Chains A and B, each alone.
Chain A
Amino acid sequence: MRIIVDEARCEGYGFCAEAAPHLLELDDEGELTVLAEQVPEDERANAEAAVRVCPVAALKLAP
């Protein structure tokens, strides 16, 4: 499973990074960076939670 960021939609609120700190991070410019290309199995729940807390639907999970 991978996390896909729609950069045009992302507003840099950072709720996702708080839900999955091992997978997502806001860089110094406030741009969202994906830290892990592939989501490890034990991070799956965090990844799903991260997708749901985004208020502008900027994240998606792909197989």
Chain B
Amino acid sequence: MREVVIVGGSIAAVTAADALRQQGHDGPITIVSDERHAPYVRPPLSKGMLKGTESVDSVFMAPLRADLDFRPKTRARGLDLGRRRVLLEGGEELPYDGLVVASGARARRLGPPEAGELVVRDLDDALRLREIFATARSVVIVGGGFLGMEIASTARGLGLDVTVVDRDPPLVRQFGAFLAGHMTRAALAAGVRLVRAPEGVRLAGTPATAVLTGEGAPLEADVIVTAAGDLPNVEWLAGSGVGDPGGLLVDERCRVAPGVVAAGDVVARVADHTGLPRRSPHWGSAIDQARAAAQALLKGDEAPEYRPSPYYWTEQWGLDIKICGRILPGCETHVVTGSMEEGSALLQWTRDGATVAAATVNHRMPVVKLRKLAAAPVPERTTG
């Protein structure tokens, strides 16, 4: 393996480059990113950075290794698998022996791109919203998932009048009814208005000034933010023969095609329990997949298989929540230590008698231990 090209400029790309070097690859590595910024971290963009308690500088990663060729403002627009070339906007072609696709995901928008819809995906989005929040009095957030509720918590902390609208009750899909219920109560106690719109919503105005829910009066606010999920960046792969709209499918070693691997938010894998491809758009998954992908590129079939071990977190309403495993529909919740009322707890989830997930709520514990608890039996007294 000589020349490696990495498409993407975020955590999956950076970790893949580090892992290739750690595993002994000493050939050239070129990273192309269509962003104007050096690599930075996204999790604070809806939390401390948006609130203003974290400086903009603090989101940038430590400088990359000097032996990488990092090219910002460079967009890949095509892939020629047969000739092993990445085609760049502007016409340049980058030959590769090994390619890492780490093009991530983007915010899903409800309207056309020119409508100027506010989202929080990249640093410029967060900087813009931070400035708007500084003078706004009210915000409607479309989407009650992780991101929507984090933005709601931040906006409320800044003193804005906050409404969250979603088809479903907030966070139930991600956290199950028990934990989602607790977080919803925390949001309500903080003064947030929650609106259900089972038929979905439409934005009115360009830029949006109101949200139409299909029933009742339009929801109006100084600011409308869309937090309706994300879509994998696969369009640049069109015509190459790989890349579905639902994500870039990889095998058990994060491989896509000969000489091509992928990692992070762009990736879809067939999940064991459903047989359907799904993405795992979390920080930890991007890191684990990038390490596995780097190994597969260098060692092929000799590389160990990637075994997903989902781990993600959120911070909202003063609750610091870390979760290992997957809270699947139909799970039973067990409070192992502490209690939600006391504001600190350790939780486990079981399904058909088997433990499938564990979480800490304002409770510090080594992640290694939490990972073990995500598969360990639930202590007897807490069952039921």
Contact = CB atoms under 8 A, between A and B. Distances in A.
Interface string A26-63: 11111100000000000001101101111111001100
Nearest to B57: A57
Contacts of A56: 41, 43-44
Interface in B41-79: 41, 43-44, 58-62, 64-65
Interface string B328-372: 000000000000000000000000000000000000111111000
A12 B367 contact: yes
Contacts, number: 74
B43 A51 contact: no
A54 B11 CA distance: 10
Contact of A15 (B65, B284, B320): B284
A14 B364 CA distance: 12
* B11, B21, B65, B366: residue with the most chain A Cβ atoms closer than 10 Å: B366
Given A28-B366, A57-B61, 6 more contacts: A29-B364, A45-B65, A49-B19, A51-B62, A55-B43, A55-B283
B287 interface: yes
Contacts of B287: 15, 18-19, 53
Contact of A53 (B11, B58, B65, B366): B11
A48 B366 contact: no
B373 interface: no
Given A48-B18, A49-B22, A55 B364 contact: no
Interface of B: 11, 14-15, 18-19, 21-22, 39, 41, 43-44, 58-62, 64-65, 283-284, 287, 313, 320, 322, 364-369
Contacts of A57: 41, 58-61
Contact of A13 (B39, B61, B313): B313
Contacts of B14: 52
B22 A46 contact: yes
Nearest to B283: A55
11 contacts: A12-B365, A29-B364, A29-B366, A45-B22, A45-B65, A51-B61, A52-B39, A53-B287, A56-B41, A56-B43, A57-B59
A19 B18 CA distance: 10
Contacts of A15: 283-284, 287
Contacts of B44: 55-56
Contact of A48 (B39, B60, B65, B283): B65
Contact of A14 (B43, B62, B367): B367
A58 B331 CA distance: 35
Nearest to B367: A14
Contacts of A53: 11, 15, 287
B15 A52 contact: yes
